Amino acid sequence: MFTLNPLARALRLPSVLLLSIASGFISPASYAANLETTSADEGAVEGHLRDSAGSPFAKAEVRLLDSDGTLIGSTIADDKGHFHFHGLKAGSYHIVLSRSGYVDSDTVVVVTAGQETHTDVQLVAKLTTVTVTAERLEHARNSLSPSTGSSQYVFDQTTIANLPQGKNTPMNQLLLQAPGVANDSFGQLHVRGDHADLQYRINGIIIPEGISGFGQALDTRFANQVSLLTGALPAQYGYRTAGIVNITTPNTFDGGSVSVYGGSHGTFNPSIEYGTTTKDGVSMYGTGQFLNSLVGVEAPTDSYHPIHDQTQQGKGFGYLSFYPAEDMKVSVLAGTSFGKYQIPNNPGQSPDADFCAQLGGSSCGFDSSNLNDRQYERNTYGLVALQGQSGTRLTYQVAAFSRISSVEFSPDTEGELAFNGVAADIYRRSTTAGLQSDIGYRISDDHTLRGGVFFSNENDVSNNTSQVFTTDAGGNVNGGPVTIIDNNPKSGNHLFGVYAQDEWDITDDLTLNYGLRYDKLNAYINASQLSPRFGMIWNASTATVVHAGYSRYFTPPPNELISNATISKFDNTTNAQSGPNDPVQAERTHYFDIGATHQFTPNLNIGVDSYYKIIHGLLDEGQFGSALIYTPFNYAKGRIYGIEMTTSYRDGAFSAYNNMALSRAQGQGIDSAQFNIDPAALAYTQSHYIYLDHDQRFSGSAGVSYVYENTTYSLTDLYASGLRTDGATVPNGDRLPFYNQLDASAQRSVITPGLGKIDLRLAVINLLDRQYEIRDGEGVGVGAPQFGPRAGVFLGIKKDL
């Protein structure tokens, strides 16, 4: 698959350009006419388009005129706003740019023979009433979300574009580039040693969590910026607190694109997005995509072609905003996703002879590679938000939100009975609706008060229809199969929270944020907590910022995952359960965080952050059974601590980052949903701390990107010490081997006959085809083994509308 590269080097063409020529998107003759021809008596000019904030301005047409005003040539700036003209005679030239909504620019450059001249062109927006209002309200919204005392990692448009898959990167894979984020199977993430516990927000509004894990329901395409907030959070953040993922949409929209991304493993991923903003300030945007792949779930083997692993998925998102008054904005957004998954098979497994006897013979011909387990997931969410400000002191945001999430596991009944003695058809649905209100008031130059209220109501359906064999007093199979229905709906699960906090600017360089939060849960359990929060940020110098904080957290269990199974129904069957089934409790945490960032040069930033968590009722989740549905349980107490280091560097065409984290996550005394746990492991935890199954001692992410001759080359690396597995005598006492995964890409824009400008991307995932296990099937709450992705080559083609 790399045979094109030597030829590309010989022709001085990037691989992605050679692919476009081979595919007929651009003829060899038309590209040859534009090859670099600069000689000793000719010069060149290159530079970047930037907006008033200094950020790259992409995809604008740049014209080059000579001193007489004659058009010499034109080009389209790439995703980094970069443009390039070569083969120019020495002399004076004009770089002219005209763009709707911006002041016309005319920059004069002098070209010298045998040299390349660099110049940057700044675009200044025409500040219409709509633009001014949007910028002011964006500032007002941000003022409602302080991060004093917390750690924040931000993915801007350039960062996302530079990843090997660009905007095709799934949300969970994007977040893996942040420090302290560990990868797990089925798209799950662990931030700073917590199991999931992520809260997703769009424009600051909470989106209720779904059963299947919201990271797979979101589309990176509609994000203008994604930030991950961790550490000692201010009082306004409750509910899920391991990390706050806030996705910010653009304020205005102008145009769109259609794209196709696909390649190895049967991947076919078309998408479309389009948005527009009227003169009256009405913004409308929509995006949709479809995905087909032969690798939908991490496979239980390291085969390049997993058995029975096809998936079909779709996502859609829509956004509407308008201004009913000058200082007031109404936003409406909605999204939906669906997923159809084949559960991958593990060949070479032997069915149970006793089970086979009840199915019609002492020996069965069930082949484990032919099992047909399937899972279906659906998510729909929406919200309406009113945001505004009154004068210069008062800002507010009020929103109503809702979400419907469901998952259905459909087993291969005879096959599951033959191998496991139980075949369970499982259906879960969660319907959530609620309100969120935040308000901020600057009472003086030194103090800003903030407060808010949160309320949600959740109705859950948990239906289980199981086929099992009957057993005698000795546990021997003696009949069946029989059907057992165990349905446990639970409506009226209420969660209420209220907070108040003060941001106090003690000096110009020292800010303290302190507050209180009260949360009350009325669901499978009743619980409440008053939680103090303190956060401090100190500008120790113009280059050094120190932050520290303490937060008391109250984390309710995920109600939509609690099955509340009636254990006694399965007595004297092959699905008989032993051990108690105490209710899952809320987690209560003391969280300490301290860190610092230092700007060594204008281009180089380094940060260090450390944390320590003391936990009562530590929440964890496990996969018990064939369905890809997690079940929560508690450890009586836990301790999690670690340290992170971040490094970033940007200098013109070159950028790089490296994030590293060390952590330790342990729990003692499993004291809820105990019947799911192996009795020996359960007994061991009562008097010993054990590592959590998702504990990853060392994790890291790194990346570099470089723009050369209008082509952006990127390389990223995910490296980690591996998740936990059972030791010889200790549950979760060992860990899987160290692994790393290199991904690479090349991307550029080209002008093609008929289609005009198109963007091309060549991506290679797992460049070295490293074969590694994410899970090996052992550990407390661990289901089947899962392997990381094998190597794949993908081509993306995008056309702006």
Long-range CB contacts (< 8 A, 24+ apart) of 710-713?
710/78, 710/82, 710/84, 710/748, 710/749, 711/14, 711/16, 711/17, 711/746, 711/747, 711/748, 712/78, 712/79, 712/80, 712/161, 712/162, 712/745, 712/746, 712/747, 712/748, 713/14, 713/744, 713/745, 713/746
pLDDT band at 450 (very low <50, low <70, confident <90, very high): very high
Please say whether the beta carbons of 107 and 95 come within 8 A: yes
* Range with the poorest average pLDDT among 64-78, 435-449, 453-467: 64-78
pLDDT at 739 over 80: yes
How buried is 412 (Cβ within 10 angstroms: 0-12 exposed, 13-18 middle, 19+ buried)?
buried
**Residue 30: its H or E element:** helix 28-32
The structure tokens listed for 666 are 């342990």
- Residue 356: which residues within 8 A CB-CB, separation 6 or more? 362, 363, 364, 366, 418
Separation between Cα atoms, residue 430 and residue 208, nearest integer Å: 10
pLDDT band at 621 (very low <50, low <70, confident <90, very high): confident
pLDDT band at 103 (very low <50, low <70, confident <90, very high): low
Separation between Cα atoms, residue 364 and residue 267, nearest integer Å: 36
Q: What is the mean pLDDT of residues 414-440?
A: 92
Q: What is the DSSP letter of 694?
A: T
Q: What is the pLDDT of residues 331-387, one digit of tens each?
A: 999 999 999 999 999 998 889 888 988 887 756 778 889 999 999 999 999 999 999
Separation between Cα atoms, residue 785 and residue 345, nearest integer Å: 11
The pLDDT of residue 701 is 96
What letter represents residue 399's amino acid? Answer: A
For 133, the 3-state DSSP assignment is: helix
How far apart, in Å, are the Cα atoms of 513 and each of 235, 242, 366, 402, 510? 9, 19, 63, 31, 10
Please say whether the beta carbons of 641 and 612 come within 8 A: yes
Place of tokens 């069965």: 364
For domain 150-800, give the fold: Maltoporin; Chain A (2.40.170)
More confident residue, 512 or 14: 512
Closest C-alpha among 442, 309, 319, 429 to residue 373: 309
The structure tokens listed for 143 are 């003022």
Count how many Cα atoms sit within 13 Å of the Cα of residue 271 in the half-sphere of its side chain.
29
Rounded (to 5) percent helix, strand, coil in the chain: 10, 55, 35
Q: What ranges do the domains of the chain cover?
A: 1-30, 36-122, 150-800
For 29, the 3-state DSSP assignment is: helix
Q: What is the pLDDT of residues 19-77, one digit of tens each?
A: 333 333 333 333 333 334 445 578 888 888 876 555 677 778 888 888 777 788 888 88
More confident residue, 353 or 531: 531
Instruction: Dump strand ranges (E) for 135-234.
Output: 150-155, 181-183, 189-191, 198-202, 205-207, 225-231
The pLDDT of residue 569 is 86
How far apart, in Å, are the Cα atoms of 264 and each of 164, 214, 321? 15, 26, 39
pLDDT at 88 over 50: yes
pLDDT band at 214 (very low <50, low <70, confident <90, very high): very low
Please say whether the beta carbons of 771 and 242 come within 8 A: no
pLDDT at 131 over 70: no
Pairing state between β 42-50 and 116-122: parallel
Q: What is the DSSP letter of 221?
A: G
Instruction: Dump strand ranges (E) for 326-442.
Output: 328-342, 374-390, 394-410, 422-442
Give the CATH architecture of domain 36-122. Answer: Sandwich (2.60)
Separation between Cα atoms, residue 28 and residue 37, nearest integer Å: 16
More confident residue, 224 or 36: 224
Closest C-alpha among 137, 126, 397, 390 to residue 279: 126
**Quick one: what percent of the chain has pLDDT higher than 90?**
55
Cα 199–chain centre separation: 11
Place of tokens 């590592």: 691
* Range with the poorest average pLDDT among 268-277, 381-390, 623-632: 623-632
Q: What is the mean pLDDT of residues 225-247?
A: 92
Place of tokens 């005394």: 669
Closest C-alpha among 632, 553, 498, 642 to residue 241: 553
Q: Is 243 left (phi over 0), alpha (psi -120 to 50) or beta?
A: beta
The pLDDT of residue 22 is 35
Instruction: Dump strand ranges (E) for 28-81.
Output: 42-50, 61-66, 71-76
The pLDDT of residue 321 is 92
How far apart, in Å, are the Cα atoms of 330 and each of 333, 357, 399, 721? 10, 65, 10, 47
Separation between Cα atoms, residue 235 and residue 517, nearest integer Å: 5
Q: What is the mean pLDDT of residues 688-700?
A: 95
Separation between Cα atoms, residue 203 and residue 140, nearest integer Å: 12
What does the mean pLDDT of the chain come to?
A: 86
pLDDT at 622 over 70: yes
Separation between Cα atoms, residue 656 and residue 667, nearest integer Å: 37
Separation between Cα atoms, residue 119 and residue 45, nearest integer Å: 8
